[in-house]
Amino acid sequence: MKSRKVIVVTGPTASGKSSLGIKLAKEFNGEIISADSRQVYRRMDLGTGKVKIEKIAKLNSKERRLGKCFSEGVVHYLLDIADPRKEQFNMVKFQRLAQEAIELIFSQKKTPLIVGGTMLYIDALIKGFQSPGSSDLKLRKQLESKPIKKLLKVLKELDSETYNKIDRENRYRIIRAIETKKLTNKSFFSAQKKMKPDFNSLILVISRPRKELYQSIDQRVGQRIDQGMIREIRELHNWGLGWREMERFGLEYRFLSRYLRNMLSEEKAIERLKYQSHRYARQQLVWWRQNKRAVWIKSFSKAKRLGRDFLAD
| 144/121 Cα distance (integer angstroms) | 22
Of 1.20.1250, 3.40.50, 1.10.287, 2.160.20, which CATH number belongs to 211-281? 1.10.287
| 215/14 Cα distance (integer angstroms) | 9
pLDDT tens, position by position, 114-124? 999 999 899 88
| 113/196 Cα distance (integer angstroms) | 19
β-partners of residue 278 are none
Task: Report which secondary-structure segment, H or E, holds 186.
Answer: none
pLDDT for 144 equals 80
Give the start-to-end residue ranges of the domains of the chain. Answer: 5-130+196-208+287-312, 137-184, 211-281
* Of 277, 274, 278, 276, nearest in space to 210 by CA: 278
* Of 101, 100, 92, nearest in space to 121 by CA: 92
Tell me yes or no: is domain 5-130+196-208+287-312 CATH 3.40.50.300: yes
Residue 83 clears pLDDT 90, i.e. is over it: yes
User: What mean pLDDT is predicted for residues 124-146?
Assistant: 74
pLDDT for 2 equals 53
User: What mean pLDDT is predicted for residues 131-140?
Assistant: 66
- Provide the angle, in degrees to the nearest 10, between the axes of the packed helices 251-260 and 266-289: 170
Mean pLDDT of the chain: 91
pLDDT tens, position by position, 266-312? 999 999 999 999 999 999 999 899 899 999 999 999 999 999 999 99
User: What proportion of the chain, given as a percentage, has pLDDT over 70?
Assistant: 94
Pairing status of strand 30-34 against strand 69-71: unpaired
User: What mean pLDDT is predicted for residues 224-236?
Assistant: 98
How does residue 1 score in pLDDT terms, banded at 50, 70 and 90?
very low
Residue 130 clears pLDDT 70, i.e. is over it: no
